[in-house]
Structure formats: C-alpha cells, structure tokens
Structure 1
Amino acid sequence: MRLGAIADDVTGACDLAGRVAEAGLPTTVLLPAPPAPGHPSPTTEHHEDVFAGGDDASACAVVALKVRTAPVGQAVDEATAAAQLLLDAGASLLYQKYCSTFDSTPAGNIGPIADALVALAGADGTVGTPATPGARRTQYEGILFADGVPLAESPMRDHPLTPMRDSSVVRLLAAQTAAPVSLVPWEAVQRGAAEVASAIGAGHTLVDALTEGDLDVIAAAILSAPRPVVAAGGAGVGTALARAAVAASGQRVDISRSQLPEVPVTGRLLLAGSASAATRAQTAAFAGERHTLDPLALATDDRALDRLRDALAARADHREPVLIGSAPEVARAQAELGAERAAALIEGALAELAAFAVHELGYSHLLVAGGETSGAVTARLGVQRLLVGQQVAPGVPWAVARSGEREIALLLKSGNFGGPGLFTDAWEVAP
C-alpha cells in the first residue's frame, strides 16, 4: 500500500508521520512551496519523487498544508492539488488527516475538503474517525472525548481560532457538507470489520473507536470496503492502516535503528506560539533562559522584534536551549487586536526569529510548539521535505530538513501534545 495523506497543518502531518513511521512504514513529510502571487495552489513540482526508490523510499507520504483556518476556497484548492500530486505519484489510498479534536468551525474546511477529495478520487465517500486513543481522543455514540471529557467541556471549548462548542462530530461535520453524514456505533465495531464495511454509506461515515483494536477494525473495513473510499480522521486510523500494511507485507522498518543524518549541535531554540494548556505547562517547567513575545508590543513598537534578535545574538552559549514564547496575557492582545491579527503577529515574529537563528547565528536544532507557528516557521525557512525519525512523545517526532544550504533538526509539535518536561527532555533523542 502507498498511503498518500493530506494534512491540514504541519504539526498534524508530523503527528501522523511519527506514528506511522513507528508502526514500521517508512514515511516522508512534504511541504509545498507557498502559493505564488496570482496562483491559487502551492507549488508542488519539486515533489515528483514522492515515493522515490532506493534508500529514500517511502510507503507513506504526508503533504503538510497550512489550511486549517484558511478560507474554504483556498483550503479546497490546496488540498486538491496535494491529492492530485499523491495520486499522480502512485498513491493507492488517499487519507484526509485532520486534528484529533476536529478543530473546525461550522463554516470550516473539513467537510469541503472531504467532498473535494471524494470527487477527485472517484470515491463514494470518506470513512474514519478523529479518535486517537494514544493521544486520549476517543469517540462514542458520535461524541468526541478529549482527555476523558466531551470535547465541548475540554480546554478546546475556548480555542482562540476554532472554539469547539459541540462534542458531536456527526453534527460538526454535517454543518460543513451537503453530503450525508452517518455514524457506525461502537457496538458494530465490536462485531468486526465486515460489519463496519457493510455499514459504510454514501457520503461521509464516522466510526466510533475507544481503543487501538477498534482502529484496527476500522482500517480493515476501509481496506475491504465494497466501494472506493477516502480514509479520513486523526492520526489514529492512519496508524492502524500502517499496521495493516506492515502485517500484509511482513516487512517492518525499525526507525529506532534507522539513522537520520547527524546534525551537529550548534544552537538550540524553542519557539512557542501555542497558548494550549499543554504548552503552557511545558513553558512553566522549562528552567532555562526564556524571552516573551508580546503581540501588543509587536503592533506598536518597531524595535520589539529587534530586541529579541539582539538577545539571541548576545547569548554566550547557543547550545544551551533558549525559549521564546508568546505572552501569557494573550486574551488581552486578542481583545485589542483581534484574534487573527494577534496570532499573525506572533507567528510572523517567531518565523523571523527562526530564520535569524538558523541563517545568521548558525542554530542547528529548533523545537516549535503550535500548528500555525510551525507552518509559518517551515515556510520562512523554505523547508520542502522532512525525514521523520524517532518520537519524543506520541505524535511528536524529530525530523531532519534542509533550509537553504543548511541541514537542521526540527521538532514540530501540536500545542496539545507532550508532557510537562518535553521542552527539556526532547533534546536527549535529537538527531
């Protein structure tokens, strides 16, 4: 099986790729060049070798877009272009990767992208689930649970860009598409893959899942579906599809033994644009040097960003990790500037600091927290491909990439992922 996945942000792509690679399926993350003026879709010509042979062969390719909160038309255009790239390269199964907390407003992009992928692939619909038990995301009776509580009662309720005020993924998806949306309940999953496959309807089918075993049943149902389908969901179903492919081929690649290119340590930088509870806990637990990025200062003080550049340049030992994170009073900045402008100021500033650290100061290792921030950083660095390595935490792998003439190590994490000690522990297994 050649699994071709389209992810709606960079950290979601790394989440899927890290888990799939750990399951034993060689995986690459591709980052299209940003759209050129006058062109609606990202440039993908440099990714003709998606499933290249030889030492760089990958059975799974994940295209990392930055469309989770983009306008619907742009999101559909970019996802369609990415899917066409994967199909042209020989993908045998398309996978729509969205967040395990279904980050999307009623006017969001998950439904429109699903409709577009179905039409492009000539499929009858999508099948899957956001459930990713390894990240404590489960689905029962169509209700999505995050860390054991319904989504709308979790911290995602007050997400600044995609506040989740409904826990029913059936209702959430139905608001975004004219296609039918149906549910396969957990009891049917317990009766096996044949039962699930027979329950797949036209349009979009969401399936309950509480365990990894449930995901394996769903993967088997997708692979044996009586009609062509597009797989969809969080990283959980994609990982189960990888397990099925490895079991069918009898060939498993052990990424703990595979060697990413070694990146000599010349500088370690943490950039935290996420305001999630997990990232706040990781920031609080970090004992090293830190600096605060205030969007209100960025909006009113032309020297705010220069002072942070100067602080980085003045450091005596760049190899000691340093953290630059958004101000904790983000709600005040959002109230005064608007949520989108505040987020854009933070993302743009962190991306500029990443480029300064790498290309002016010679930093080699970057840990970036936040999906939108990771997308801004990789775009600014001109990263086109990530070679995925060992996970630091579930869904949080290190990767090696090229930025210009330099080879760098990147860890791009969802704001919600990882334990409190991640900002300290991650360096121990860095390439």
Structure 2
Amino acid sequence: MLLGCIGDDFTGSSDLGNTLTKSGMRTVQYVGVPDHPAESDVEAGVVALKSRSIPVDEAVRLSLDALDWLREQGCEQFLFKYCSTFDSTPEGNIGPVAEALADALDARKVIVCPAFPVTGRSVYQGHLFVKDKLLNESGMENHPLTPMIDADLRRWLARQCRGTVGHIPATDVFAGPDAVRARMESEDAAGHRLLVADAIRDEDLRVLGQAAAGLPLVTGGSGIALGLPDNFRNQLSGQAGAWRGQEGRAAILSGSCSVATRAQVARHQGEAPALEVSADDLMSGAVTARGVADWMLAQDGLPLAFSSADPDTVRAAQKRHGRETIANAFERFFADTARALVNGGVTRLITAGGETSGAVVEALAPRRLEIGPEIDPGVPAMRAGKNLVVALKSGNFGGDDFFAKAARILGADDE
C-alpha cells in the first residue's frame, strides 16, 4: 500500500475512493479499522470512520488507530479526508485530529484544503465558497450537527487547534509547485504547521498535490487527492479495478436536510413511492423501522423513505426532543430499516446524508467496499458484498435526478 487515507465519515471516504480510482490507483475502502492485513494489490487504502460528529477525544483515538494500521501496511504518505464543506464545530474535530496525526508522523507543512471545484467548493483568500456563496451563506449554517457560521477557514481552524494556522494564497498556487513549496517553507519558519491552501480549479489541486510529494501528511476534501497519484505513478500497476453491477430490488433511505438532497427528494416524490418520517412520529413510536421496511418492500419501482425536513422544522423538533436524542434515534431507525430491507431482498441500496450512510454501513457491516464507476461527481457506485451494491451520497452532492441515476448505475448491465 502506497497511500493511506483516513476518512471522517463513510460518504466522504467513498468520495475519496472515487477520486483515487479515477486517477488510476487500485483503491479499497475499509469500514472501520481492519483487524487483518490489506490485500497485496491495494495501492490506496481508505479507512472510513464515523468520527465527524463524535467527541473530540474519541475521534482522535480512532484516527490514530487507523494511522497505526495504515503504517503497518507500509504506506509512504497519509491523507486525512474531511468534508468539502469543512463540517466541524468550534471544538473540532478537524483541527484536533489533524494535529494528532501530525504529531504522530512528526509532520510539518501540512496542507489544509477542502476545495472540490467540480462540486462548487473553492477556497480563496482562506475563505471557503460553495459555488458563488460563502460557506456560512450556503445553507451549511443550518446543518443540524455542525452548523458552519464562518467561511474563514483560518479563523475557524484556529479555534480548534493548539497551534497557529498559516496560509498558502492563490498567487503562489497559480505560480506552480515550486512557489507553493517556497511558501510552505516560509510559513513553517513562522511557526505555522497547518496551512490553509487556496484552490479554485482542479489544476490548483494538482499543483498542491505535486508540492506535497514526499510530505508525510496531507489533509483536505477528496479534491486534494487529484494530484497525489501522480507522485506514485511509476509504482502503480495500472489496474484500478473492474465493476460489475447487481440485479434485483432497489431502495432509498435519506436522512439529509441539505438543499441538494431536499431537491432530490422533491423530484423523486413526483416519480416514485415516497414516505416521509417525521421526528415527532419517530419519537412517539408512530413509525418503526420494521413498519417502514415492510411498506417499502411492498412497493413497485424505487421506494424512498426520508426525513429530509426544512431547517425550521428541524430546529423546532430539536427544541422539543433534543438535538442528540433525535440524531441518535434517526441513526438507529435508518440502520434497522436498512437491515430489514437487505434481509427482505434489496440488493441495491442508496443512502443520502453522512450520518445516515454511516449508520447504515455500520449496521450492514461489510468488511470492505469496492469502488466502482462514478454516479455523480463525488459519489461512486460501490460493492458491499456478493449480492449487495450501495451508493452513499453526501447530503450536498448530486443532481436532482440522482436517485434514479444511482439505481440504474448500480444495476446489472442487462437490466
């Protein structure tokens, strides 16, 4: 294994695996820290954790456990992958995990870059944009677990870290890898270890990747991985893996409240069976995982169960029941529903939302996820077992027709 990756959720990890596979690396996503050695043909290993919204100390511990396993596989470089919208609170978990990994690797000049231009995420003057809006005006300020209320990544990250935060401005990135390396040296001399890097084009991410050659640790969204495979090009087999689809029934579980997912749900409601699960109904016991799964299994076509409410509805429910109480209840609900669906014969499962996808994957417990073709930017098809394929979509990703497209690409070629 050449490149060892640690993802803070399952959808982001599959996004990263998609980027690396398209760039020619034989990539496997592992669910949690494996208890066995990696296969000998794996060139990039992605250890997917569910550490984005858990207590800081636990996130650090899990990430260091993943690092230890990846080091045992012989990795030459490590990547800490987080969301392209930098999902975190003022306490963490991005900063504390990045610093802990840097301490363990004795790493300095650590790039911090969540940019992913193809999905509209860019960093300029240290600020994160979602398309033409600052992060804190993009809808992410309404995230139920990690509301992003400041687009200045230097300022937000500094609140999470022990050390100070530096900057690699766009003028240096545009000038090429040598200019980036020179800027990294000067920032390091000034005592800054974590360096927020500007990037507004894929070309910028490739420049950052070239500048990171030989450095032990890089952090960012999946876009930062665009330039990393080239640093290992003469060591790659050229066999990134083949895909085979799966025939059989398909179903969708959506727990994301993002603007993109709500548009996808709205479109799908007009085309196929859809059932909304409200927080009040879940908390009162009016709906259960078994009941929802039975309803979905009784439907023709591509059934959807969703809890993708608008921000005002979410806030009101959180006030009535408690934010953590609702979050935990929905995770258990989607996990139990997914198990019932798969036991009932579903072979193609589509999920929307990081927490929802993480709960589902943990419930189904595949040892590894084989990366397949891209469905929409940032979302690959994946094989989770002999008779199960999945699509794990981050809430903010995908076009309005994502659900139907995912079911089609997950399907067997002759369907």
TM-score of the aligned structures, taking structure 1 as reference length:
0.89
Q: Which amino acid aligns with 2:78?
A: L
Q: Which amino acid aligns with 2:8?
A: D
Matched, 1:215 2:179: no
1:251 CA displacement: 5.5
SS at match of 2:391: strand
Q: Who is 2:45 aligned against?
A: 61
1:243 CA displacement: 4.2
1:98 CA displacement: 0.8
Q: Which amino acid aligns with 1:430?
A: L
Q: Who is 1:423 aligned against?
A: 403
Matched, 1:324 2:324: no
Q: Who is 1:366 aligned against?
A: 349
Q: Which amino acid aligns with 1:411?
A: A
1:82 CA displacement: 0.4
SS at match of 2:338: helix
Preserved CA contact (<8 Å) 1:128 1:218: no
Task: Give the Cα–Cα distance (whole angstroms) in 2 for the partners of residues 250 and 117 of structure 1.
Answer: 26
Preserved CA contact (<8 Å) 1:216 1:244: no
1:254 CA displacement: 6.0
Show structure 1 runs of 5+ residues with no match: 33-42
1:36-61 deviations in whole A, cap 9, x for unaligned?
Answer: xxxxxxx6313x12xx22xxx22111
1:308-340 deviations in whole A, cap 9, x for unaligned?
Answer: 13313434x4xx211000153433322211222
Task: Give the Cα–Cα distance (whole angstroms) in 1 for the partners of residues 84 and 130 of structure 2.
Answer: 9
Task: Give the Cα–Cα distance (whole angstroms) in 1 for the partners of residues 217 and 4 of structure 2.
Answer: 10
Which of 75, 78, 89 lines up with 2:73 in the alignment?
89
Task: Give the Cα–Cα distance (whole angstroms) in 2 for the partners of residues 23 and 304 of structure 1.
Answer: 43
1:125 CA displacement: 4.5
SS at match of 1:82: helix
Note the 1:266-345 alignment, pairs <5 A. 267-286=249-268, 287-301=271-285, 304-315=288-299, 317=300, 320-326=301-307, 328=309, 329-345=313-329
SS at match of 2:251: strand
Cα distance, 1:310–1:264 mapped onto 2, change above 3 Å: closer
SS at match of 1:415: coil
Q: Who is 1:39 aligned against?
A: none
Q: Which amino acid aligns with 2:200?
A: L
SS at match of 2:356: helix
Cα distance, 1:274–1:327 mapped onto 2, change above 3 Å: closer
SS at match of 1:95: strand
Note the 1:20-169 alignment, pairs <5 A. 20-32=20-32, 44-46=34-36, 48-49=37-38, 52-53=39-40, 57-169=41-153
Preserved CA contact (<8 Å) 1:130 1:234: yes
Task: Give the Cα–Cα distance (whole angstroms) in 2 for the partners of residues 109 and 271 of structure 1.
Answer: 26
**Percent pairwise identity:** 35
Preserved CA contact (<8 Å) 2:120 2:130: yes
C-alpha RMSD of matched pairs (Å)? 1.8
Task: Give the Cα–Cα distance (whole angstroms) in 2 for the partners of residues 131 and 375 of structure 1.
Answer: 23
1:223-254 deviations in whole A, cap 9, x for unaligned?
Answer: 05xxx4410011111122124434x4576446
